[in-house]
Amino acid sequence: MRTSQLFLNTLKEAPSEAELISHKLMVRAGLIKKLGSGLYTWMPLGLRVLRKIETIVRDEMNKAGAQEMLMPTIQPAELWQESGRWAVFGPQMLKIKDRHDRDFCYGPTHEEVITDIARSELRSYKQLPQNWYQIQAKFRDEIRPRFGVMRAREFVMKDSYSFDADFAGLEVAYGKMYTAYSNVCTRLGLKFRAVAADTGAIGGSGSHEFQVLADAGEDLLAYNPDSDYAANVELAPAFAPETPRAAPAEQMRDVDTPKQTTCEAVAQLLGIGIDRTVKLIALVGGEGQFIVALLRGDHSLNEVKLGKVAGVGEFRFATEEEIRARFNCPPGFLGPVGIASDITVIADLTVNAMSDFVVGANKPKFHLAGVNFGRDLPEPTVVADIRNVVVGDKAPDGKGTLDICRGIEVGHIFQLRTKYSAALNATYVAEDGSQKHFEMGCYGIGVSRIVAAAIEQNHDERGIIFSAAMAPFEVAVVAVGYHRSEAVKAAADALYNALIAAGVDALLDDRNERPGSMFADMELLGIPHRVTIGDKGLAEGAVEYVARAGGEMQKVGVADAAAFVRQRLAA
Amino acid sequence: MRTSQLFLNTLKEAPSEAELISHKLMVRAGLIKKLGSGLYTWMPLGLRVLRKIETIVRDEMNKAGAQEMLMPTIQPAELWQESGRWAVFGPQMLKIKDRHDRDFCYGPTHEEVITDIARSELRSYKQLPQNWYQIQAKFRDEIRPRFGVMRAREFVMKDSYSFDADFAGLEVAYGKMYTAYSNVCTRLGLKFRAVAADTGAIGGSGSHEFQVLADAGEDLLAYNPDSDYAANVELAPAFAPETPRAAPAEQMRDVDTPKQTTCEAVAQLLGIGIDRTVKLIALVGGEGQFIVALLRGDHSLNEVKLGKVAGVGEFRFATEEEIRARFNCPPGFLGPVGIASDITVIADLTVNAMSDFVVGANKPKFHLAGVNFGRDLPEPTVVADIRNVVVGDKAPDGKGTLDICRGIEVGHIFQLRTKYSAALNATYVAEDGSQKHFEMGCYGIGVSRIVAAAIEQNHDERGIIFSAAMAPFEVAVVAVGYHRSEAVKAAADALYNALIAAGVDALLDDRNERPGSMFADMELLGIPHRVTIGDKGLAEGAVEYVARAGGEMQKVGVADAAAFVRQRLAA
């Protein structure tokens, strides 16, 4: 396409309400335009990006044997009443009454509708498995929509649903979707991780979130940069140190810490590393019993892990009053030495391997140094992994060490099992003649959210950096002086036509603008490859190539330019 | 695709509620599935058809220089209040309140939203012209949705809107859309006509409906089978007979017609053609004055044309009481001879050319024969075209004679002029520096309705007959005995693979079903070309080709089959 035929309207300033960089850049580049709160129009340039993502999603879904259909956005309340979700979905569901005062909603998701289709269309095990998907507008009435298309009310989603005869079949379907989602993210050029999610009460082995790694993400992830391992920090295991606990080398002694109520402050005062300190966290268990958790000074408590330790169950942090009453000591100076023997002491795996450590003295303004288990205090009641992993911890897959980052969830795959097929009594006739409920999975990709997530991950001070797979155009041919130089016009047209003929999605910038303004637009838009054609270069028989993602400008012979670009696109 | 990988679920019986043949066939073929009143899921096969239409629509829109975007389906009430349509659109608009009790609607159309975008994005004449379109779900809350996707509540529409600096620009944009819509219908293989529509109060030279010719249509059209002329019957002009009125040859005489109150009955009694009779229709004008219209016995009054006759304006049919009071005669025997001279007599052009005609005698149980204007009664007060055209009338374009048929409206193009740009104060800076309102056009295609319209036009007792352009598959390769004959399997796979490699959208029916059942499915689905491969044919080195639209079965050499099919597709 030629810029002269394209509706292009870039802005110098982002709207003041835009907080996220992706939101700012998408508005400035003219990809989206706000219609109302959480409602965005995809302008021609933005829609090109959205469609490229859709095409890749569709291709991977089809390869996985899924079949596309299109359900209505407007759904009758009766199905949601049957599943029980009409009452419990909450105000995110946009409820609607039609002219006959009947209840409907704008589908926030389609489990009910697809299960209704399956129960009438799929009658025999011979028709299984099936995986049906659609790419469609969804609506979720967010209370305070922000962040542009990252959390819009109306958004584009690919949702799919698998129907299998048994759990083994579901696991196969799930595995295919895991692969398809991984392929989508890879083809889009995204740094991502498939993160095992806590399946909570529903059970089943499977739920994974596909997280695009970016600072603006809501989720904190532990991942291995050298493998595909990733988990929510809450779920990543920490291991005992490889070096076992050393023998005591120091005597336990009081240390005067008049104002030092944190491990950092104590370590600083003593001139030691914080990894020589231990902190005590006082908790109250479900039956009112006191529990103390011991963690290394620089570690943080992982409440999910602690809750899973045998005998703990539900717990809460002790109040200051409770602490003073039980320990006769203010928080900040608590320690495990000399505490009542009926208090359960749970030591983290790391603490259990420590010797000669520093800990609160259980009296105001004092800590103890040179403390050792088995000598100065009993061995811990329980030793367990109760901390959050930190950067540099050993990766659970044994292939290196963990890094920590934030992630933006763009996909979620989930083993529903028979939750909806049982609720809607969706059954098939099994091979043995019995009626069985379908084993179902559901799989969602936030197609429109991917655009924002990709930009959060890939941008610089000049704008968006798109991968070729999702860029509005793969290459920009910037013709400097198109309207005044016959040579520039001829060379630019020739290169553009050669690229189009080769199937390259090229944009010829044929505007009568200053070069700086044209470059700035192409950079803001994130077009990954740029060829500049001007009289000066042509005098030497050359054009200039530069990659949006960085790297030196290169001179390329005019005749070689099309082949050069194609080579870069294939790289 | 292989049938074994396709969700195919054909039905022997259509749902009892389905009235239209297209609705019945779409459900039986498994193209659509009802979710609720006026709400349909496009099943995998149906979605293939829908997408093929979308692709052609998109291609023609892009060729016309239009640019695709995607607006939200949910629209804020404020814009509709600004245009004044929030109050007047009526219950077809699905009105919605969000969680904050703010008013929205599910877009039935997008004039307001697009005008809002234009007024902030288009500021200068240099940015004009623009034509923006989208392909998207719309919702119109029909009071009694029927006829499947022909008149669904949620449906897929391509809507576009053009913005021009002046009326000349609008006419260019309009012309491009006229061409694009014609191309879409032609490429889809539809018999259609672009019909000039009455633009009513809005004015502008332009509004055309694109009508697919089919018996189930709601609109009655007059068209020229030998040209592209077409008009709603109400708007097609009728001309005066080429032969002028002959001199009187008979004397006026009473005819005894004791029970004959219609022209048909009188003509039959007298043994003459009905085209020798004249009927009188008694009307009351806006000021209470009596008007009589004279039409040939076999013609019907065109109220639109009569209303445009000078001095008539609004009118109504006289009641029987008014007729008896004014004429002292019951309806059925009325005639123009001897009526009061203050009654306006409007004769149709055809009647004006008649002599020696038969007409009511204005007394019960009698007609008059041999009646002539200027001798037995005065010349008509007014002579005008006030009848509906009939089959065989001269076509207004002079290229033959008219035929009459029904049409299904699948597209509508309309010159909005400044209706919305004025209402929303959407202006641009013109070349002379003044602020001007955009000249707008709007253009809609009912993408989902086209599927139903095409089927209404093209079907037989065995099912749908799709054109290759919109068929779910272009060709079906039916393998008889795929699971028991190595030869059949090898030949079928080879042909299928050759077709796919050549870019043909082929379906390989590899099911283990009776041949009759496979043939019936492929015919019901309307796949335009079918190749049957079986052991018997292979023994002779041949496969069988048959076209869905009719024609003899042909034997084709196994090795030539792929080339043969491609040739048929190119034909």
Chain A positions touching B73 (Cβ under 8 A) are: 73, 137, 154
pLDDT at position B203 is: 44
- Residue A135 to residue B326: CA distance in whole angstroms: 69
Q: Listing from the earlier edge strand, what are the strands of the sheet with B357-360?
A: B253-256, B366-371, B357-360
Pick from A33, A44, A139: CB nearest B67: A44
Answer whether A402's CB lies under 8 Å from A412's CB.
Answer: no
Does the CB of A121 have a partner CB in chain B at under 8 Å?
Answer: yes
Closest to B21 measured CA to CA, from B131, B148, B113, B106: B148
Question: What CATH number corresponds to the domain at position B495?
Answer: 3.40.50.800
Cβ neighbors of A533 (< 8 A, separation 6 or more) are: A477, A478, A479, A480, A488, A491, A492, A495, A543
3-class DSSP assignment, residue B313? coil
Measured from the Cβ of residue A464, the count of other Cβ atoms closer than 10 Å reads 27
Note whether A113 contacts B153, CB cutoff 8 Å.
no
Q: Where are the alpha helices (DSSP H) in B135-242?
A: 167-187
Q: Torsions phi, psi of A546, nearest 5? A: -145, 145
Split at pLDDT 50, 70, 90, the class of B199 is low
A533-564 pLDDT per residue, tens:
999 999 999 999 999 998 899 999 999 999 99
- Is the pLDDT assigned to residue B449 strictly greater than 50? yes
Q: Do residues B159 and B281 both lie within one domain?
A: no
Q: Is A423 an 8 Å CB contact of chain B?
A: no
The CA distance from A274 to A279, in Å, is 10
Residue B484 forms part of a structural domain: yes
Partner-chain residue, chosen from B70, B73, B76, that has the shortest CB–CB distance to A42? B70
A392 found inside a domain: no
**Residue B208 token pair:** 């055309």
- Specify whether A311 is located in the same domain as A425: no
pLDDT digits (tens, 9 = 90+) for B395-405: 998 899 999 99
In this structure, are A61 and A178 located in the same domain?
A: yes
Q: Are residues B144 and B116 in the same domain?
A: yes
- pLDDT number for residue B509: 97
Q: What is the 3-state secondary structure (H, E, C) of A230-243?
A: EEEHHHCCCCCCCC
Tell me what pLDDT residue A205 has: 57
According to the 3-state scheme, what is the secondary structure of A308-343? CCCCCCCEEECCHHHHHHHHCCCCCCCCCCCCCCCC
Closest chain B residue by Cα to residue A92: B99
A38 and A108 inside one domain: yes
The B residues from 14 to 73 touching A (CB cutoff 8 Å) are 33, 35-36, 39-44, 46-47, 50, 65, 67-73
ipTM for the assembly: 0.89
Residue B392 falls inside a structural domain: no
Q: Find all residues with CB under 8 Å of A388, minimum gap 6, and list them.
A: A233, A234, A236, A238, A299, A300, A301, A302
pLDDT at B201 over 60: no
Q: From the CA of B4, how many Å to the nearest CA of chain A?
A: 10
Residues of chain A found within 8 Å of residue B65, distances taken between Cβ atoms = 5
**Neighboring chain B residues of A7 at a CB cutoff of 8 Å:** 67, 121, 127, 130, 132
- Percent residues over pLDDT 90 in chain B: 87
Closest CB to A121 among B9, B50, B73 = B9
Low-confidence ranges of chain A (pLDDT < 70): 198-205
Same domain, B75 and B176: yes
* DSSP-based three-state secondary structure for B456: helix
Q: What is the largest distance, in Å, between two alpha-carbon atoms of chain A? A: 93
Residues A42 and A181 in one domain: yes
C-beta atoms of A41 and B72 within 8 A: yes
Q: How far apart are CA B291 and CA B286, in angstroms?
A: 10
Q: Domain of B485?
A: 473-570
Give exposure, A398-436, as e/b (b: 16+ Cβ within 10 Å).
eeeebbbbbbbbbbbbbbbbbbbbebbebbbeeeeeeeb
Question: A35–B69: do the CB atoms touch at under 8 Å?
Answer: no
**Which positions in chain A touch B9 (Cβ < 8 Å)?**
121, 127
At position B41, the amino acid (one-letter code) is T
In the listed set A395, A423, A455, which residue is the last one of a domain according to the structure?
Answer: A455
Report the residue of A9, A41, A128 to disrupt the B interface, i.e. the one with the largest count of B CBs within 10 Å: A41
Domain-embedded: residue B369: yes
Mean of the per-residue pLDDT values for chain B? 94
Distance from CA of B290 to the nearest CA of A (A): 43
CB contact under 8 A, A74 and B39: yes
Q: Kindly report the backbone phi and psi dihedral angles of residue A156, in degrees, each rounded to the nearest multiple of 5, phi listed first.
A: -100, 130
How far away is chain B from the Cα of A98, in angstroms, using its nearest Cα? 6
A459 φ/ψ angles, rounded to the nearest 5 degrees: -160, 165
Mutate to test the interface with B, among A2, A53, A69 (most CBs of B within 10 A): A69
* Residue that terminates a domain, selected from A455, A489, A518: A455
The alpha-carbon gap from A103 to the nearest alpha carbon of chain B, in Å, equals 11
B40, part of any domain = no
Is B225 or A44 the better-scoring residue by pLDDT? Answer: A44
In the 8-state DSSP scheme, what is residue A73?
A: S
Q: Which residues lie closer than 8 Å to A204 by C-beta, 6 or more apart?
A: A167, A170, A415, A416, A417
- Rounded-to-integer distance, Cα A75 and Cα B41, Å: 11
**Domain shared by B308 and B281, yes or no:** yes
DSSP class per residue in B70-97:
B--SEEEHHHHHHHTHHHHS-TTSEEEE
pLDDT band at B198 (very low <50, low <70, confident <90, very high): low
The Cα–Cα gap between B547 and A522 comes to 51
Asked whether residue B269 carries a pLDDT value surpassing 60, the answer given is yes
- Could you tell me which chain A residue has the CA closest to the CA of B68? A44
Question: Based on the domain organization, do B327 and B440 belong to the same domain?
Answer: no
**Residue at which a domain ends, from A392, A421, A455:** A455
A340 min Cα distance to partner chain B (Å): 54
Same domain, A9 and A111: yes
Residues B290, B175: Cα–Cα separation, whole Å: 45
pLDDT at B205: 57
The pTM (predicted TM-score) of the whole model is 0.90
With H, G, I as helix, E, B as strand and everything else as coil, classify residue A506: strand
CA angle A299, A303, A305 (to 5 degrees): 90
Contact between residue B505 and residue B528 where contact means Cβ atoms under 8 Å apart: no
CATH number (domain holding residue A218):
3.30.930.10
Nearest Cβ partner for B69 among A47, A91, A137:
A47
Let me know whether A339 and A298 are in one domain.
yes
Instruction: Decide if B186 is inside a domain.
Output: yes
How many structural domains comprise chain B?
3
Q: Which residue has the tokens 């039980």?
A: A326
A164 and A60 assigned to the same domain: yes
CATH code where residue B349 lies: 3.90.960.10
> Please, what is the end-to-end C-alpha distance for chain A in angstroms?
23
B498 close to B504: Cβ distance less than 8 angstroms: no
| Contacts with A, B 146-185, CB within 8 Å | 153-154
Which amino acid is residue B514, in one-letter code? R
Is A141's CB within 8 Å of B69's CB? Answer: no
Q: Is residue A81 part of a domain?
A: yes
Residue A195 belongs to a domain:
yes
